Amino acid sequence: MTAPYVSIVVPVYNEEKSLQPLIDRLYPVAEALGRPFEIIFTNDGSRDRSLEMLQEYVQRYPGVKVVEFNGNFGQHMAILAAFERSTGEIVITLDADLQNPPEEIPRMIAAIESGHDVVGTIREKRQDTLFRRVASRIVNITTNKMTGMQMSDYGCMLRAYHRNIINNINQCSESTTFIPALAQTFSSNPTEIMVGHAERTLGESKYSFYRLIRLNFDLMTGFSVVPLQLFALLGIITSFLSVGFALFLFIRRFMIGAEVEGVFTLFAILFFFIGIIIFGIGIVGEYVGRIYQEVRKRPRFVVRKTYGFNEP
């Protein structure tokens, strides 16, 4: 059997409503490439009919393969599990919700074939709420400043990678990671292209506000120590200001005498400093928690069964 030239990776979690429309659009695009291909779906512990539908696709569509997780391990772990089993020279990641059109895949492959090893995407005319667009913009700018990377849209998972990048990613054993940023650290010639973006009409987003915050913490603390350095700098500045403020109160005591009118101002200043300390402890705790997760050496994910692999 001819080895795949293109591997298309799709994580799936409770996507029964969008799977059929997805395969109806994705499979013709893959066939039109004129190259051997494989489509690897990772079922990330879905509780609906997603797994049943994927099992049917393995029988109906040549080249479709499925990795079944033992539970829900998250989108990035689902992609990593598929990376480990992919064999294509070019690997494409795609969400199952059809917000990013599969029809963009040929353009991404062309960019890889022109010499780029990572092809990122920027969602054009993004069809999300104003809150998510603004929050995404803030995260993109902040992350670029903290990590030193130059990516315009961290949240778009429609991306293409050369096999060399995938091999390097597969050697990593981090318990939490952010794949686009991880790939960027291994890339020598990345690029970005504009892609279409559609409003989600089937199913619902799996990223709640809390999960988005957690993902951004993973991104910033997993690829930079700048938060710790900024807090250390803030501590130094605060120390100098505290010394200056103490000298001011000392001189004021001799010039005006004892007074109690400013006690509430002092309380406000004290609460401000306590807030900074608690915030700093939280940042340090985030890094310590990451170290704790890594030293336990627990499996990042558990694969229950695979379908369509190593079959004629």
The ranges assigned to domains in the chain are 6-203+300-307, 226-296
Q: What order do you get walking across the sheet with 90-93 strand by strand?
A: 190-195, 118-123, 159-162, 90-93, 6-12, 37-43, 64-69, 303-307
Beta strands in the chain (DSSP E): 6-12, 37-43, 64-69, 90-93, 118-123, 159-162, 190-195, 303-307
Is 92 in contact with 8 (CB distance < 8 Å)?
yes
Gap between the Cα atoms of 118 and 165, Å rounded: 8
Gap between the Cα atoms of 107 and 123, Å rounded: 14
Is 9 in contact with 63 (CB distance < 8 Å)?
no
Contacts of 234 (CB under 8 A, 6+ apart): 276, 280
Mean of all residue pLDDT scores within the chain: 82
DSSP structural state of residue 14: S
Is 168 in contact with 84 (CB distance < 8 Å)?
no
Dihedral angle at the C-alpha atoms of 276, 280, 285, 287, nearest 10 degrees?
150
**Most distant CA pair in the chain: distance in Å?**
92
Confidence (pLDDT) at 278: 76
Confidence (pLDDT) at 144: 65
pLDDT digits (tens, 9 = 90+) for 188-225: 999 999 888 776 666 565 555 556 666 666 666 666 66
For β-strands 190-195 and 118-123, DSSP reports them as: parallel
Confidence (pLDDT) at 185: 86
Confidence (pLDDT) at 312: 42
Q: Which class would CATH give 6-203+300-307? A: alpha beta
Confidence (pLDDT) at 4: 94
Confidence (pLDDT) at 221: 67
Per-run averaged pLDDT (10 residues), the chain, 312 residues: 90 93 96 95 94 95 95 91 95 91 94 94 72 66 66 80 95 82 88 81 57 65 68 73 74 67 67 76 78 78 91 47
Gap between the Cα atoms of 292 and 209, Å rounded: 25
Confidence (pLDDT) at 208: 56
Residue tagged 């250390």 (tokens): 232
* Nearest by Cα to 14 from 172, 173, 187, 205: 205
Is 119 in contact with 190 (CB distance < 8 Å)?
yes
Q: State the pTM of this model.
A: 0.75
pLDDT digits (tens, 9 = 90+) for 141-197: 666 666 666 677 767 889 999 999 999 999 988 877 788 888 888 999 999 998 887
Residue 106: CB atoms within 10 A of its CB come to: 14
Which SS3 state, helix, strand or coil, does residue 45 take?
A: coil
Query: Tell me, what amino acid is at 159?
Result: R
Gap between the Cα atoms of 265 and 249, Å rounded: 12
